[in-house]
Amino acid sequence: MSYRLTLAWTVLTAGALAFGAKVASAEPVPITVRAYDEDPGGKALADPVEAQVGAALAADGRFAFTSVVDRLEPPVEVARALGRADLAIIDAETAFQQMDLAKAKTLITGAIASYQRYLPELAARGGGVTPLRDAWIKLAKTRFFDGDLDGARDALRYVFVLDPKVEYDPTTFPPQMKKMVIEAKLLFETLGPGKLVVDSDPNGAVAWLNGVKLDKPTPTDAVAAPPGPNYVSVRRRGWAPLTTVVEENGSGDQATALESLTRYPKHPIADLERARAHLDESDTPAGLAAACGVLGVKMLVLVRFAKVAAPTGDTRLTAYLYDARPNRILKRASIVTTADGAPSAAHALTGELLRGVRLDGIYIPPKPPVRPNWWQRFSVSTRDHFDRFHHSKYFWYVVGGAAGAVALGVGLGVGIGVSQHQQTIGQAVILLGGN
């Protein structure tokens, strides 16, 4: 007997440990969030609401949250591209010292292209746009010794735009370039800065000028811009980032840089936008599964905005939890809030949205409502009839008449009838008190 108990305990313990190991080894579910800025009021609220929903998802250990932007443009890939550009500049310096000017120019121009593509990220990495400035200095020197004097002067224009403090220094430029550097700097200072307005199509994008973030989204206010080739960067949610070179004439002139944004290649935003109007329908909107495939996630939180009728002017947030594995919207939740309170309300709404949902990709449809049987329907109907009678003006007349009948019965000595009727009256009063 003892042996059997020991064996059973061993089996149960092993099973419990195996189950615990399986639960502990469950990998977090990849998930992201998309707030529809196309909805009324969504343009200003989408970014802060997405940030709060993302914070709630990131804090939940069951999920592996990554924003849509980082899914489309992974930060690790950006860092690798900038790192490769840094290495290319080092190799270009070696080639320049060996007077392999063709190789040096190829390496430098490739590095400059990478720096330009990710200029806001380069500026935020630490050191500002110094690596790009130094790359143009190296390109100016390489072109000079390769006999391309016009190309060297053009490279110096980029140098002075990125850093107006650059002067001729024998530790930076070879003596042969002294005259060229001084003349180029004199021309730069003579022209003086101009004014530049940055706009985009569509507008509302965050803008940078030469790696410095501007205070206002596009269209921006007119800002001072140095004469020469300026780097203009724009970023807007759902659109591919863009950095272009805009020529500023200087001398106080004002120019406008209009940047036309494009979608990401194979972008999922179109599928998500098409699904927006069908999220409350019984069938799952088409395109959500494809969007999750492009983004590399299994689950998706979608947030819609709707203006509440005047005079409050509040906003209704509706959140949807979608799982691509069964291709189902698992849950919906909504809340009415002020515009200022929308981000914090979205954080709380996310917690409600995630409560009690399965994360294993298995969809169990909700049970259909149970139809009450005959006796339940009869009981409900009888209670409703009595409730209406209790609130009617005849109720107390009937009760009073019943009481009079009891008194009369006592006077006539009908004891049994009184006893039975008292029981009926007592039950009716209990029902009344319970309602």
The Cα 196–Cα 259 span in angstroms is 13
Options 3.30.43, 2.40.30, 1.25.40, 1.10.860; CATH of 75-191: 1.25.40
Domain boundaries, the chain: 26-66+266-364, 75-191, 194-260
pLDDT in tens, 388-419: 555 555 555 555 554 454 444 444 344 333 33
Arithmetic mean of pLDDT, 265-285 = 86
Query: What is the torsional sign of CA 52, 58, 59, 64?
Result: positive
pLDDT category, 115, cuts 50, 70, 90?
A: very high
Whole-number CA gyration radius for the chain: 37
Q: Distance between CA atoms of 235 and 428, rounded to whole angstroms?
A: 73
Q: What is the pLDDT of residue 385?
A: 56
What confidence category does residue 150 fall into, taking pLDDT thresholds of 50, 70 and 90? Answer: very high
Q: Which of the following CATH numbers is that of domain 26-66+266-364: 3.40.50.10070, 3.20.20.450, 3.40.50.2300, 1.10.10.10?
A: 3.40.50.10070
pLDDT at 131 over 60: yes
pLDDT above 70 covers a percentage of the chain that reads: 78
Q: How far is CA 245 from CA 127, 248, 388, in A?
A: 21, 10, 79
With H, G, I as helix, E, B as strand and everything else as coil, classify residue 272: helix
**DSSP states of 195-220:** EEEEEEES---EEEETTEEPSSPSSP
Q: Is the pLDDT score of 65 beyond 60?
A: yes
From the CB of residue 396, how many other CB atoms can be counted at a distance below 10 Å? 11
* pLDDT-based confidence at residue 8 (cuts at 50, 70, 90): very low
Asked if pLDDT for residue 19 goes beyond 60, the answer is no
Q: What is the pLDDT confidence band of residue 264, given thresholds at 50, 70 and 90?
A: confident
* 253 pLDDT above the threshold of 70: yes
Q: Find the mean pLDDT for residues 249-253.
A: 89
Conformation bin of residue 369: beta by default, left when phi > 0, alpha when psi is -120 to 50: beta
Whether the pLDDT of residue 243 is over 60: the answer is yes
Pairwise CA distance, residues 37 & 295, whole Å: 19
Residue 44 has pLDDT above 50, yes or no: yes
Amino acid at 7: L
Q: Is the peptide bond before 268 cis (omega within 30 degrees of 0)?
A: no
C-alpha 54: how far from chain center:
6
Mean pLDDT, rounded, for 220-243 = 94
Among the listed residues 58, 90, 149, 63, the one whose alpha carbon sits nearest the alpha carbon of residue 347: 58
Report DSSP state, residue 222: P
Structure confidence by residue, pLDDT tens digits, 346-368? 999 999 999 988 888 888 776 77
Least confident of 14-28, 107-121, 149-163: 14-28
Q: Which token pair is 138?
A: 């190296």
Q: Closest Cα partner for 339 from 36, 33, 49, 50?
A: 49
Burial grade of 168 (CB within 10 A; 0-12, 13-18, 19 or more): middle
Read off φ and ψ for residue 145, nearest 5 degrees. -75, -15
Query: Quick count: other Cβ atoms within 10 Å of Cβ 62?
Result: 13
**What topology is assigned to 194-260 in CATH?**
Immunoglobulin-like (2.60.40)
Q: Which amino acid is at 116?
A: Q
Statement: residue 53 has pLDDT above 90: yes
Q: Which two tokens stand for residue 392?
A: 């009617």
At 165-177, the pLDDT tens digits run 999 999 999 999 9
What is residue 379's predicted lDDT score, i.e. its pLDDT? 57
Nearest to 251 by CA among 187, 197, 188, 194: 194
The pLDDT-based confidence of 374 (bands split at 50, 70, 90) is low
pTM of this prediction?
0.74
Q: What is the pLDDT of residues 72-104, one digit of tens each?
A: 889 999 999 999 999 999 999 999 999 999 999
Phi–psi pair at 321, nearest 5 degrees: -105, 115
**Cα 318 from chain centroid (whole Å):** 15
The pLDDT of 44-59, averaged and rounded, is 93
Distances (CA, A) of 220 to 124, 226, 258: 21, 17, 11
